[in-house]
Structure formats: structure tokens, C-alpha cells
Amino acid sequence: MPGIGYWLLGRRRLAVFSALVSVVLVSVPVAVARPWSEILVVVWWVAVIVHVPVPGDDQRG
């Protein structure tokens, strides 16, 4: 489920926002079937994946 990580970190609003955006981004391509909506889903997916820190990747030196 999208947003579960935020929920576990105590960031409730961000968890709800993430889940809502994910539901919309799944619903829109199904409803309109346009290339722009599919691109939007890929951009959201990349944004969700890229912002997550890698475990063990300590940037403090």
C-alpha cells in the first residue's frame, strides 16, 4: 500500500496524500487511456522510488 512507510514514521498527512495520489494515478489511466496519463504514472513511480534513502548508504562520511 502506498504511504505505509510514511504512516510507520508517524507522517500521517504525507501517508494519506501519497495514498490518495496513487489511487488517482491508477484510476485516471484506466478511465481516459491517454499516453499523458501513463507518463504521469511512471513519473510518480520514479519519484516515489528515487526519494527513498538506501539502507546502509551513510552520507555523513
User: CA-CA distance, 30 to 40, in Å (whole number)?
Assistant: 13
Per-residue confidence in pLDDT tens, the chain, 61 aa: 667 878 888 888 988 988 888 888 888 888 888 888 888 888 888 887 776 665 555 555 4
Q: What's the pTM value of the predicted model, to 2 decimals?
A: 0.59
Q: Which residue stretches of 1-61 are H helix? A: 4-8, 12-32, 35-50
Residue spans per domain, the chain: 4-50
**52 φ/ψ angles, rounded to the nearest 5 degrees:** -80, 125
